[in-house]
Amino acid sequence: MKICLVSPYDFAREGGVNQHIIALAEEFRAQGHIVKIMAPSSADEDETPEADPDIYRVGNVVPIKANGSVARITLSLNLSGQIKKILQTEQFDVIHIHEPLMPALPLTVLAHSKTLNIGTFHAFSQSHIGYYYGRYVLRLFVSKLDGRIAVSKPAVDFVTQYFPGYYEIIPNPIDLNRFTTEAQPLPQFMDGKLNILFVGRIGERRKGLKFLLRAFNYIKQQMPNVRLIIVGKGDTKGYERYLRNNGIKDVIFAGFVPDDMLPRYYKSAHVFCAPSTSDIPGYASVVQHGKQGLLVEPKNIEMLAMSLIRLLADANLRAGMGREGRLKAGQFSWKNVSQRVLDFYERSENRRRAKLRLKRMRHNRRMLSRTYGLGWLLRRRYQAGQPERISKTRQG
């Protein structure tokens, strides 16, 4: 099978959707499928002369503020010629578009695609002004999707506000091999202190790092033997100033950490904390409170501090939640998720073919009705009766 995976986001930058696409492509190729990726890119072609031939870089990138973050997408309106040429050359069996209603690449691909179209909806928000005001036009593009995937129940609830229909829930996967290998903890953190780990973009307010730092101030007063390790890119000056002004120690800004090193940071941590500022239903859909982790009201510094102290003080509780988490994570392995996606392609193609057959049948019926309708029957009866009437007239 020949598959095209489409991303709306700058492929020269890291991001959850792009990582999802890259890993999905690897899994599909391992099973013998041909996979190409189409995405906008800010990479300078002169700087990357040996570009990956399996990646089509289409469109210039523009940063747009969205949902408390910055989406780096293409708004180019002259993509049609390039996209039509790619589609005509490749003749894909499946075009799988992630965030299919994002401008402008996904919409342009949908407009010109004549094959099986699959869309995966990743986003969740309380509302979407673009979906609301553009829903009447966007419904034309949604109608071109032969199958719709959402990564969680909250994502389904969000998108169906504007575009009702059936969505297959296939979750974001986890590279279990990456974290189940015998990664060694980092020796500088193995000094007897209890480690809290934060991983995320430091500059994004929605990640909630400032609330974790304030909670950490309370934690240090109760448990001096605790360290906070912060992994992620971003300006740390404001945070460091807060730490100095409040005399808070044992906070490590590790900066950007390569993917191959990240498992060692997790291995060094006693507790992982994601202090997001919004009440993300996606967390609750995979973490059962008190079983695989503790869920805390967003921005509630006192409750966050108390929950972290509870975990740090109880090694048995941490170990039990860790076991439960590893069992739950098995459901999200790349092998399982990629196979579910392939199975969904097959079911969607069967439905598409059935619809095409039904459409042809209806078309044929209309054509037969026009050709052999009431007028045709009346003419047949008239013509059939003519010789008999002529014969009777002669006999008379």
What would the 3-class secondary structure string for 89-109 be? HHCCCEEEEECCCCCCHHHHH
Same domain, 320 and 198: yes
Asked if the structure places residue 6 within a domain, the reply is yes
Same domain, 12 and 36: yes
Query: Whose CA is closest to 326, among 294, 295, 292?
Result: 292
Same domain, 271 and 319: yes
Same domain, 342 and 310: no
> Per DSSP, which regions of the chain are E strands?
2-6, 34-39, 55-57, 62-66, 69-73, 94-98, 116-121, 147-150, 168-169, 194-199, 226-231, 251-255, 271-272
Asked if the structure places residue 296 within a domain, the reply is yes
Tokens of 25: 């492509």
Interval 43-72: pLDDT, tens: 865 445 456 889 999 999 998 876 667 788
Same domain, 127 and 191: no
The rounded distance, in Å, linking the Cα atoms of 43 and 81 is 21
The rounded distance, in Å, linking the Cα atoms of 84 and 90 is 10
Asked if the structure places residue 132 within a domain, the reply is yes
User: Quick one: how far is CA 234 from the chain centroid?
Assistant: 23
Number of other CB atoms surrounding residue 249 within 10 Å: 11
Per-residue pLDDT in tens (0 to 9) along the chain, 396 residues: 999 999 999 999 878 899 999 999 999 999 999 999 999 998 865 445 456 889 999 999 998 876 667 788 998 888 999 999 999 999 999 999 999 999 999 999 999 999 999 999 998 776 678 888 888 999 999 999 999 999 988 899 999 999 999 999 999 888 888 877 678 999 999 999 999 999 998 888 889 999 999 999 999 999 999 999 999 999 999 999 999 999 999 999 999 999 889 999 999 999 999 999 877 776 777 889 999 999 999 999 999 999 999 999 999 999 999 999 988 888 888 889 999 999 999 999 999 999 989 988 888 877 777 666 656 566 666 666 665 554 555 555
Same domain, 250 and 230: yes
Reported pTM: 0.75
Same domain, 143 and 194: no
The rounded distance, in Å, linking the Cα atoms of 381 and 86 is 56
94, 117, 352 from 114: Cα distances, Å: 10, 8, 12
When computed from its CA atoms, the radius of gyration of the chain, rounded to whole angstroms, is 29
Residues of the domain holding 374: 335-391
| Predicted local distance difference test score (pLDDT) of residue 197 | 98
Query: Whose CA is closest to 172, among 24, 291, 383, 360?
Result: 24
Asked if the structure places residue 298 within a domain, the reply is yes
| Predicted local distance difference test score (pLDDT) of residue 381 | 64
Tokens of 232: 């992620």
Q: How far apart are the first and last CA of the chain?
A: 77
> Residue 164 carries which DSSP code?
-
| Predicted local distance difference test score (pLDDT) of residue 106 | 96
Contact between 170 and 203 under an 8 Å Cβ cutoff? The reply is: no
17, 232, 268, 271 from 343: Cα distances, Å: 21, 36, 38, 37
Same domain, 216 and 301: yes
Contacts of 228 (CB under 8 A, 6+ apart): 195, 196, 198, 212, 213, 216, 250, 251, 252
Question: Which CATH number does the domain housing residue 252 bear?
Answer: 3.40.50.2000
Same domain, 246 and 306: yes
Tokens of 105: 């690449």
Contact between 374 and 177 under an 8 Å Cβ cutoff? The reply is: no
With vertex at residue 372, the alpha carbon angle to CA 367 and CA 376, rounded to the nearest 5 degrees, is 145
Q: How many domains does the chain have?
A: 3
Residues facing 95 on adjacent strands: 4, 117
DSSP assignment of 188-231: GG-SS-EEEEEES-TT-GGG-HHHHHHHHHHHHHH-SSEEEEEE
The pair phi, psi for residue 47, each rounded to 5°, is: -85, -15
Same domain, 218 and 322: yes
- Residue where a domain stops, chosen among 285, 317, 332: 332
Same domain, 241 and 359: no
Asked if the structure places residue 396 within a domain, the reply is no
Tokens of 284: 């609750």
- Residue where a domain stops, chosen among 129, 152, 173: 173
Same domain, 75 and 60: yes
